[in-house]
Amino acid sequence: MEAVMGLEIHDYLSVLSEASLAMTSSLDGDTALRRLSRILVPRLADWCAVDLVEGETVRRVSVAMSGPETRFAHLHSKTGPLPLELEDLLLPILRTSGALLLTAPGTTPADVELGEARTRLRRLLAADSAIVAPLRVRGNALGALTLARFEPGSPLTDADVPIVEDLAHRAALAVDNTRLYGLQHEMATRLQHSLLPRLPDISPLRLAAGYLPARESSQVGGDWYDAFRLSDGTPALVIGDVEGHDITAATQMSEVRNMLRALAFDGREKPSQVVSHLDRVLGGVGGNLLTTMVLAHLEGPATGPWRLRWANAGHPAPLLITRDGGTRFLEEGRSALLGLDPTLSRADAVEALPPRSTVLFYTDGLIERRTEPLDRGMTRLRRQAGTLAGADVQTICDELITLADKANEDDIALLAVQLPDERPTA
């Protein structure tokens, strides 16, 4: 075979390679199909469209054309829902098992079932030749790939049909994969949210939290936050991250959270003692879980002043945000992460909290990027948090999540506590 669809064999193989790469280079199906159309035109066709079935309608997701748009003014060359006339013509074709070749009258075999649709579709395209290939996966029609040529000198022929069918099959697999990914991602996100607790009322202090799954992952992770009152009423705050990004990590995270609650509840032990106890328990039950976390107590009378007492087991340092926009990482109280050596000593740190200040607890997805040093991420967080100092605690969490949503490569969990403007009087 010296030529394929008018191309030398090496040129055709190059197109096929580029098309395969385009359809696997994005987790967004529409983006992948737009890239495919731009590769096929003008090398294989003068005009290309990809339509997808969505419920009871058909939507055009991609159009590419060679030459000025006025040349194709008679066609439906915009993305979006198809006109009913065109939709009615495509649906019978999607129920077939193979591609449909459209050429000049009398040059293709008669087809009783599709004869009318073939005639009307060719008239609508007004092309010298065209091939409409269903996008089929596991017997399901996901849509159609249409290639058309308008110059009579090099029409599409029966020999081109298997090639277009192969391209349509590859496109169908890409669409199916992106839809499966979207479903898995949605289910994983719902599972993760179901494992996160409701925040208690610790008035006059205010709590807020946020969670954002990684943009490029269909799996749940081990990031979590928690807040509860100890037996004496003292608020306890927790942020943590169990190693892993799968269902196992999410399950282990839930187990660690529940064990921590049980160990901390009576309030007789300081945060460092509770963390040490938890490390021993995890090692004793064979967990071998590499876990980072911060456990903090908010201590003080109901009228204030308040202080934060915490222990940090290998986790990013909490961020203190003052009412005037000052920011400072609370680096004290550090020790090794859990799961390494339960005999390691741990210490507490204590910080007096000024009125209207906010303490932000977060997981590393908020500050880490593969393309930059960690210090830059920490500086970015301080700058962003400083500009939000005058906002209420829920707004602070929401804004940080919104900013992170543009580039987060890992799951993010946030927990923030904010003191009132003035200390209430008795």
Give the pLDDT score at 143: 93
How far is residue 14 from each of residues 7, 19, 31, 39, measured CA to CA in Å?
Answer: 10, 9, 20, 10
Closest CA to 33 of 56, 59, 63: 63
Give the pLDDT score at 112: 47
Give the pLDDT score at 132: 93
Give the pLDDT score at 383: 95
Give the pLDDT score at 1: 46
CA pair distance 167, 172, nearest whole angstrom: 9
Closest CA to 105 of 129, 141, 86: 129
Give the pLDDT score at 246: 59
CA pair distance 321, 359, nearest whole angstrom: 6
Give the pLDDT score at 218: 47
State the CATH class of domain 196-418.
Answer: alpha beta
Percent of the chain clearing pLDDT 70 (strictly above): 83
The fold of the 3-185 domain, in CATH, is Beta-Lactamase (3.30.450)
Strand partners, 137: 140
CA pair distance 215, 365, nearest whole angstrom: 11
The pTM is what?
A: 0.62
Q: Say if CB 296 and CB 333 are below 8 A apart.
A: no
CATH 3.30.450.40 in the chain, residue ranges: 3-185
CATH 3.60.40.10 in the chain, residue ranges: 196-418
CA pair distance 295, 360, nearest whole angstrom: 13
CB-based contacts of 375, cutoff 8 Å, min separation 6: none
CA pair distance 401, 213, nearest whole angstrom: 10
CA pair distance 362, 320, nearest whole angstrom: 12
Give the chain's residues under pLDDT 70.
Answer: 1-4, 6-8, 10, 12, 69-71, 73-74, 97, 104-118, 184-195, 215-221, 244-251, 285-288, 406-409, 422-426
| Burial class of residue 423, CB neighbours in 10 A (0-12, 13-18, 19+) | middle
CA pair distance 189, 168, nearest whole angstrom: 31
